[in-house]
Chains A and B, each alone.
Chain A
Amino acid sequence: SQQGEEDPQALSIQEGENATMNCSYKTSINNLQWYRQNSGRGLVHLILIRSNEREKHSGRLRVTLDTSKKSSSLLITASRAADTASYFCAPEYGNKLVFGAGTILRVKS
């Protein structure tokens, strides 16, 4: 399928540590977007990375994209308890986002 597949499924870290989540997809994309979701609420947009970009930063977030390996990663540095959430990557095909199951991140204080 086209969907993004996140790895790991769940991640538990201590406050202050870095968290890395990975995403793989199957076919060529226009761009890839990362989202955060807290407890069944709406999705918060984190970063969009285009297929011709390799890396983007936003505050404590760093996203990389490797189109040759069809993979992306999201790094959250100096994590906080408030970063506890589910994180989704969504490769975009045409105008359609295709989501995986997400990574559940728990940051312990």
Chain B
Amino acid sequence: KAGVTQTPRYLIKTRGQQVTLSCSPISGHRSVSWYQQTPGQGLQFLFEYFSETQRNKGNFPGRFSGRQFSNSRSEMNVSTLELGDSALYLCASRGQVYNEQFFGPGTRLTVL
């Protein structure tokens, strides 16, 4: 079974731009969560989607948004990028039976 995939793996953007990251969960998983990892703040929860609905949201500004499609793939968007948005963005998918969350390799975003 293929794992969680994230694209792109690396991104370089400049302040003020926007960015879209993509996540494909493990086949059969309907829940997708997003996390941000920075050296200063560590791993922080952004949001979770289940069956195309946002089920949970962390404490991030409205510039961070996401969505989930009918095939469970998810995207997250960050608008008006700031230097502090430079981070590793991790996506996790969860199965319904055992509740384990499996993470993808991440997208490393650098904002210049």
- Residues of chain A at the chain B interface (Cβ within 8 Å): 30-31, 33, 35, 40-45, 48, 88, 90, 92, 94-102
Q: Could you say which of B31, B43, B45, B94 has the most chain A C-beta atoms within 10 Å of its C-beta?
A: B43
For the complex, is B42 an interface residue (Cβ under 8 Å from A)? yes
- In the complex, number of A-B residue pairs with CB atoms less than 8 Å apart: 58
Partner of A96, one of B48, B103, B105: B48
Q: How many angstroms from the CA of A20 to the CA of B47 in the assembled complex?
A: 31
Using C-beta atoms within 8 Å of the partner chain, give the interface range for chain B. 20 to 34
Partner of B101, one of A33, A40, A98, A100: A33
B42:A96 contact, CB within 8 angstroms: no
A48:B58 contact, CB within 8 angstroms: no
For the complex, is B106 an interface residue (Cβ under 8 Å from A)? yes
Q: A88-B43, A95-B33, A98-B45 are in contact. Are A43 and B103 (CB under 8 A)?
A: yes
B100:A97 contact, CB within 8 angstroms: no
A48:B90 contact, CB within 8 angstroms: no
Besides A95-B31, A95-B55, 20 more A-B contacts (Cβ < 8 Å) are A31-B99, A33-B100, A40-B108, A41-B106, A42-B103, A42-B104, A42-B106, A43-B92, A44-B103, A45-B100, A45-B102, A45-B103, A48-B98, A94-B56, A95-B50, A95-B94, A96-B48, A97-B33, A97-B35, A99-B44
